[in-house]
Amino acid sequence: MTYDRLIAWLSSGFQNQKAVTVFCKAVLILTLLRILFLWNASLVMVKYHHLSTPRSWSGKIMLAPSVLAGDHFSLVYIFFITLLIIGVFIRWNYLSGAIFFWITLNLYRITMPLTNGADQVQLALAVCMIFMVSTPYFKSPKMMAWQNVVFNASVLATQLIIVFVYFISGWDKLMTASWRTGDAFLMISNLQHLINPFFKDLLTNSIINIALAWITILFELTFVVFVWFRSTRIFTLIAGVLFHVTIAIVLNLPEFALMMSVSYLVFLKDTDYVFIKNRLPESSKS
């Protein structure tokens, strides 16, 4: 994308409004599911993970739910669930974006010892989602211009965050000898807290390990390029979903797989949904 094309893309109306709305709602639903599935573990955790009260008033307001969760865990989680359900059904706006970020920040603080890549990705998405509002908010044309450009920029920033998740991981693997030789998979087979025992023996074969290591490196580095081109975008995203489903099964990380798969929705265009809709049977369209 050249500089002029980038400016044209940023300034020419709200890009892929419907697809972005679907993305925002999907992230909300996933957060809701994560809260429900991790309820028991979070409940155990808050008993032992004491959260201090921030000193500043702004900190107290921002992080109040995480502090309250220590003694009123269920109340705080029910409050979050209620807000998320409302967020799913209303039109995405700046307030719902800000509230979602507030919920994500507090969940991140409450579950700090249990956080993983999925939480980090969610936090980054929540920051960008605040600005993904395509409903006209301002009367002044100048302010509308800002809203339009900020919307498109936040979508692009989200896409870049996802792309760089792969780039930094792929680059690190490429620079590490144990990944290039496939020994990394042998190490992974030894991680009792991660590996699914069903696949443990498979990862002791050196030829399979070299093949898997290079497939991983190539996928992560090529994702960075291929996701931007119309002809390769959908195939790249499908490959990404398969990649994460495999990780979810082999390494017991369903949360991260779901978060990354949902984040792919930000790469879809409105036309993709039209394409899917046109191919659905008549009965399911209605």
Partner 1 sequence: MNSSASHDVYIRKVAACFAWMIVIHVLACIYFTVTPKYYPLHRTAIALLYKRVFLIGPFYTEHRISISPSLYIRYKESVGEWSPLVDYGSDLHRQYYSAPWRYDRLKQDDLMRHFMREAFNTKWKHSHDPAEISNTKQFCTLSAFITKELIGKENVDSIHLIYSFSAFSAEQSAFKVDTVWNITFNPKQTCDIR
Residues of the shown chain interacting with partner 1 in the complex, contacts defined by CB under 8 A? 3, 6-8, 10-11, 37-42, 44-45, 47-48, 50, 113-114, 116-117, 120-121, 123-124, 127, 141-142, 145-146, 148-150, 152-153, 156-157, 160-161, 164-165, 167-169, 171-173, 176-179, 183-184, 186-188, 190-193, 196-197, 252, 254-255
Query: Rounded distance, CA 7 to CA 34, Å?
Result: 37
| Shorter beta-carbon distance to partner 1: residue 53 or 190 | 190
| Shorter beta-carbon distance to partner 1: residue 40 or 56 | 40
Tokens representing residue 91 in the block? 């039109």
Query: Rounded distance, CA 36 to CA 30, Å?
Result: 10
Tokens representing residue 127 in the block? 């920051």
CB of 161 to partner 1, least distance (A): 6
Cβ-contact 134, 20 below 8 angstroms? yes
CB of 281 to partner 1, least distance (A): 30
CB of 145 to partner 1, least distance (A): 4
| Shorter beta-carbon distance to partner 1: residue 54 or 70 | 70
CA 162-246-220 angle, to 5 degrees, is 35
CB of 82 to partner 1, least distance (A): 21
Q: How far is CA 284 from CA 55, 166, 268, 276, in A?
A: 54, 35, 21, 11
Q: How many CA atoms lie within 13 A of 178 on its CB side?
A: 6
| Shorter beta-carbon distance to partner 1: residue 73 or 273 | 73
| Shorter beta-carbon distance to partner 1: residue 68 or 150 | 150
CB of 103 to partner 1, least distance (A): 16
CA 94-98-102 angle, to 5 degrees, is 170
